Amino acid sequence: MDIHALHQVVHNSRDSRRAQALPKLSPAERDTLIKKYHPDHREAAYRPVAFGPNAGDLTVRELASVLEGDSPVPTELTLTPDYTVDVLVVGGGGAGCAAALHAHAEGAKVLLATKLRLADSNSVMAQGGMQIAVAPNDSPVQHFLDTLKGGHMKNDHDLLKTMVEEGPSIAKWLLELGVLFDRDPDGNLHVKKGGGSTKERLLTCSDYTGLEIMRVLKDEVLNQKIQLLEFAAAIELLSDEQGTCTGAVLQDLDNKRFVVVAAKAVILATGGIGRLHIQGFPTSNHYGATGDGLALAYRMGAPLVQIDTFQYHPSGGVYPEQLVGQLVTEGIRSEGGHLVNSKGERFVNELDTRDVVSSSIIRECEEGRGIRTATGRVGVWLDTPLLEAEQGEGTLDKHFPAMVRQYERYGVDIRKDPVLIYPTLHYQNGGVKIDSNSETSVKNLFVAGETSGGLHGRNRLMGNSLLDLMVFGKRSGLTAASRVKTASQGKLTLTHLQRFRAESKKHGVTSQVISPMVLPAYTRTQNT
């Protein structure tokens, strides 16, 4: 049957769905569902890391290969610095910009290097909003508890306490910079409820929240005249004989030239891992999300945490083909949009945690209640026209203009037709282990944002990523700037890389993988 003809099933079932009572899953039922259907529990997709700080720990095969991969930098490289700064920030997304701005404000000489353009990042694509406890009936304590429950009680308590407590001050800082958060008619900040949260806590800018925040942060980086290198990928860190981080080697992507940066402190804010396409999943991530910071920190000896868990966003596009893997904002479900199988039935509480909703969608498709496209993809319906029917004509244009335009480009009117969705690889729950100031076990090496691990536990609540970026970008920048006031520039060596290569040889690792990947290898001839 033509996919457009199947839309009628969604329309015809609307009245019965309005009265449908969804049973609340018990904790045991939730765990059973996740263990049976969530991709994190597919044993064949995992293997132990062969050597290094996480030797023996299980992770997906794609990440294990990256961690064990060899550096593109020769150990005999001449390390005469092209730049000498106090703080090197690697990454031009939310965490990197926040870190650079706060370090610069404290008087540090900052260089921000990013492998694509400034603001080319996952941050700019965040649609759903930013969780901050600002409503009168909310509190950081409740935010803490919601996040802890959503993370299956595996969150780092110190990191989580820091994030929720500093949320209100982050909102104030962003407002002062000029971020245009949505407001109620009385002028107060408008808050929405997100999946897994007990209170309305999401600050939004329609469904352009990440774009609006990055518009402001990018302008501020440029206005503050922070030194910037674009199309400059970090491919190796530098250390002194004691193992302290002393800088990095970048590669100019235009001419492949190595660029040596001496820095008293380095902040890695390189984002996630989606473009490794773990288990063959499509991804919502931007083109540069290849897990660079994990490989760089790992070679320096920094341990990683929770590297066996990843987030698959429940609503990635399935049709049309041009939008496969791209996010359909969770805000649609927050506003009341239903998830519907091929029989016209709702099958999950749409505002449950992302791992539960994703597992439920995968279950429906694997058990034959999904909708198949002409290209062989399968998914379930998200009833977007329901919002127009329930809340009035123009609701989608007002609250989700980005999504309306995104689908209009390919001839789909989401005001009239539901959209087909399936989980997409979205977020790296684990990452480099940090303390509450974003510092790793390697002295003067800081990590902020998605590259770090521990904060979100085994499942991130929607809206916590943007707050994570701002809080730990800020803390890394402030701590690094304070540190460099009394620190001297350490010697530039590749001693840690020599040790890493020796350990690789000792363990008989013969991988031909060059790490970091820098850009996804979509063609066999690509040379990174």
85-127+212-309+429-495: what fold? FAD/NAD(P)-binding domain (3.50.50)
Using one digit for the tens of pLDDT, what is the confidence trace for 288-301? Answer: 999 999 999 999 99
Q: Do residues 314 and 357 touch, judged by C-beta distance below 8 A?
A: yes
Residues of the chain with CATH 3.50.50.60: 85-127+212-309+429-495
Q: Residue 303: pLDDT band by 50, 70, 90 thresholds?
A: very high
Give the residue among 331, 325, 295, 294 at the shortest CA–CA distance from 312.
325
Using one digit for the tens of pLDDT, what is the confidence trace for 389-411? Answer: 999 999 999 999 989 999 999 99
3-state secondary structure of 476: helix
Residue numbers annotated as active site: 313, 333
Percent residues over pLDDT 90 in the chain: 89
Beta bridge partner(s), residue 207: 205
And the tokens for 87?
A: 């703080």
- Does residue 478 register a pLDDT over 80? yes
CA distance 481 to 511: 38
DSSP labels, 416-444: TS-EEEEEEEEEE--EEE--TTSB-SSTT
Element housing 60 (H / E):
strand 58-60
Q: Do residues 381 and 420 touch, judged by C-beta distance below 8 A?
A: yes
Kindly report the CATH number that applies to the domain delimited by 3-37+311-425. 3.90.700.10
- Does residue 330 register a pLDDT over 90? no
What pLDDT was estimated at residue 18?
75
Residues of the chain with CATH 3.90.700.10: 3-37+311-425
- Mean pLDDT over the full length of the chain: 94
